[in-house]
């Protein structure tokens, strides 16, 4: 049974490797995720098949009806969450769209073309300001989302536009049976690349790979200073001859099979890889590390903002939030949900909340006009 449960989480995470991070920011991953989703993703998932039975704890809700359109990653919701919400509001249907809207620009374009396309959506911190600048976001009335109190202030401050739902760190991992050294910093990572030439993996996500390189160089991981961006570019070009691949899907696979011995990766991916290969060691580098934070934001053209607020509040009930975390296997933001979360997640040192590591984290942020410089530099790395 435990195996089946783990397998279930593993499958979700494997799909996530393909869709979620790449869908937001990856140079290659974004379009690939779109293609992959077009091949098999998407569709309506209005209503799950299992109710958790915990949804009624919020008290008597106001009657809501109609339809909520929700842009989400595939399977990125608690398995019983829709059904439990439906019990509270039988006349309200949630239509989930996970057909791979792709990057923030693709989402914005879609909403600009069809203002009624979505009522609310899942989006990372790096992308939200773009929608804000495009005047697409609705203000959230947090008085209608009292369960926001369950989210610690540091996450609310990092994601003020809506409700933060999950976050993740981008560090590196190595095979302790194949690497003699015990690297603890980004400098170690870069210094070891020549020794383990051809066995080094980089993430195909410019915000993360460039950001972590900037941190190693002592700069802000979201810098807009061209000279600093170019410095990071040059550092990456220097180690590129030793890099086996710059990928956004199946990132941990070479580490698992030994084809690579050290690689930059997301924490959730390494947590999953460690289930398959116990010699994989996770490192949250001492200089600091990039992280993403995601959440739900509402669209200002929605005529269902009451329902959006209600569902946001519902999602932040510890029982529902735990269902979400247990289904997806994500690193979580709500300490009060810990007793309800599977131990393989809550006790996992890679995923568990750690104040010391959190202090070193730099959240991906919108680059504004500097996005062009970042992309140009990243393309130069890839074409070098």
Partner 1 sequence: MLIGPTAAWTLLFFLVPLGIMVVYSFGQRDVVTFKLYWGWTVQNYVDIVDSLYLNSIVRSLLLSLTATGLCLVIGFPVAYYISRQSRRRQNLLLLAIMVPFWTSFLVRTYAWVNLLANQGLLQRLGEKLGVVSGALDILYTPTAIGIGLVYSYLPLMVFPLYVALERIDPALPEAARDLGARRHRAFLRVTLPLAMPGVIAGCIIVGIPATGEYVVPAILGGGKTLMYGNVVASQFFEVGNYPFGAALAVSLMTLMTVVLLLSRRSTARLEEVV
Residues that bind partner 1 (CB under 8 A): 25-28, 30-32, 34-36, 39-40, 102-106, 108-109, 112, 130, 133-135, 198, 202, 204, 206, 240, 243-250, 253-254, 257-259, 368-369, 371-372, 375-376, 379-380, 382-383
Residue 231 Cβ, how far from partner 1 at the closest point, in Å? 18
- Pseudo-torsion of CA 99, 100, 105, 110, nearest 10°? -10
> CA 111 → CA 82, 103, 131, 302, distances in Å?
24, 12, 10, 11
Query: Minimum CB separation from partner 1 for residue 185, in Å?
Result: 24
Helix (H) or strand (E) holding 120: strand 120-124
Q: How far is the CB of 102 from partner 1 (least distance, A)?
A: 5
Q: CB-wise, 243 or 273, nearer to partner 1?
A: 243
User: CB of 268: closest distance to partner 1 in angstroms?
Assistant: 20
- How crowded is residue 218: how many other Cβ atoms within 10 Å of its Cβ? 10
Q: How far is the CB of 131 from partner 1 (least distance, A)?
A: 9
Quote the CA–CA distance of 90 and 19 in Å, as a whole number: 31
Token pair of 136, please? 């697409």
Nearer to partner 1, 13 or 94 (CB): 13
Neighbours of 346 (CB within 10 A): 19
What are the structure tokens assigned to 274, written together?
């460690």
Which parts of 122-185 fold into alpha helices (H)? 128-133, 153-158
CB of 118 to partner 1, least distance (A): 16
Nearer to partner 1, 199 or 315 (CB): 199
Q: H helices of the chain, where?
A: 2-24, 27-40, 81-88, 104-113, 128-133, 153-158, 186-192, 206-216, 226-239, 253-257, 267-276, 305-315, 318-328, 343-346, 355-359, 371-383
Measured from the CB atom, the residue of 257 and 286 that comes closer to partner 1 is: 257
Taking the complex as a whole, the smallest distance from the CB of residue 296 to partner 1 amounts, in Å, to 21
Residue 91 tokens read as: 């006349």
Pairing of strands 163-175, 262-266: antiparallel
Instruction: Find the shortest distance in angstroms from Cβ 384 to partner 1.
Output: 9
Instruction: Please say which residue, 106 or 352, places its beta carbon nearer to partner 1.
Output: 106
**Which lies closer to partner 1 via its Cβ, residue 31 or residue 148?**
31
Tokens of 299: 């669209």
Shortest distance in whole angstroms from residue 382 CB to partner 1? 4
Q: Which helix (H) or strand (E) holds 279?
A: none
Q: Which residue has the tokens 């279930």?
A: 8
Q: What distance lies between CA 355 and its chain's CA centroid?
A: 19
- Residue 42 gets which letter from DSSP? -
* Closest distance to partner 1 from the beta carbon of 133 (Å): 5
Which residues touch 173 (CB under 8 Å, ≥6 apart)? Answer: 252, 255, 262, 263, 265, 270, 273, 280, 281, 282, 283
């Amino acid at each position: 049974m435990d195996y089946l449960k783990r397998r279930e989480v593993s499958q979700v995470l494997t799909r996530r490797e393909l869709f979620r991070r790449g869908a937001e920011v990856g140079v290659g991953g974004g379009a690939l995720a779109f293609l992959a989703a077009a091949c098999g993703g998407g569709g309506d998932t209005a209503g799950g098949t299992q109710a958790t039975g915990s949804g009624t704890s919020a008290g008597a809700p106001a009657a809501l009806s109609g339809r909520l359109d929700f842009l989400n990653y595939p399977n990125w919701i608690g398995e019983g969450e829709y059904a439990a919400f439906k019990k509270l509001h039988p006349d309200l249907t949630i239509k989930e769209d996970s057909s791979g809207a792709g990057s923030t620009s693709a989402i914005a374009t879609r909403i600009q073309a069809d203002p009624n396309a979505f009522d609310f959506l899942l989006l990372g911190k790096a992308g939200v300001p773009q929608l804000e600048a495009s005047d697409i976001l609705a203000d959230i009335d947090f008085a209608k989302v009292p369960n926001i109190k369950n989210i610690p202030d540091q996450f609310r401050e990092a994601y003020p536009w809506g409700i933060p739902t999950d976050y993740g760190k981008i560090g590196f991992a190595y095979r302790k049976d194949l690497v003699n050294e015990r690297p603890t910093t980004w400098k170690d990572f870069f210094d070891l690349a020549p020794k383990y030439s051809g066995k080094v993996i980089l993430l195909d996500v410019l915000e993360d790979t460039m950001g972590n390189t900037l941190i190693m160089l002592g700069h802000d991981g979201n810098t807009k200073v061209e000279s600093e961006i170019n410095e990071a570019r040059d550092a990456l070009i220097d180690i590129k001859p030793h890099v086996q691949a710059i990928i956004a899907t199946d990132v941990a696979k070479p580490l698992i099979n030994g084809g690579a011995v050290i690689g930059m990766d997301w924490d959730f991916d390494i947590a999953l890889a460690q289930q398959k290969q116990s010699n994989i060691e996770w490192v949250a580098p001492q200089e600091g590390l990039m992280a993403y934070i995601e959440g739900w934001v509402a669209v200002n053209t929605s005529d269902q903002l009451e329902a959006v607020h209600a569902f946001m509040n519902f999602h932040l009930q510890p029982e529902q939030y735990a269902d979400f975390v247990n289904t997806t296997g994500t690193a979580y933001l709500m300490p009060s949900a810990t007793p309800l979360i599977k131990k393989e997640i809550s006790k996992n040192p890679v995923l568990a909340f750690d104040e010391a590591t959190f202090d070193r984290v730099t959240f991906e942020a919108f680059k504004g006009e500097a996005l062009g410089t970042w992309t140009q530099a990243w393309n130069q790395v890839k074409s070098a």
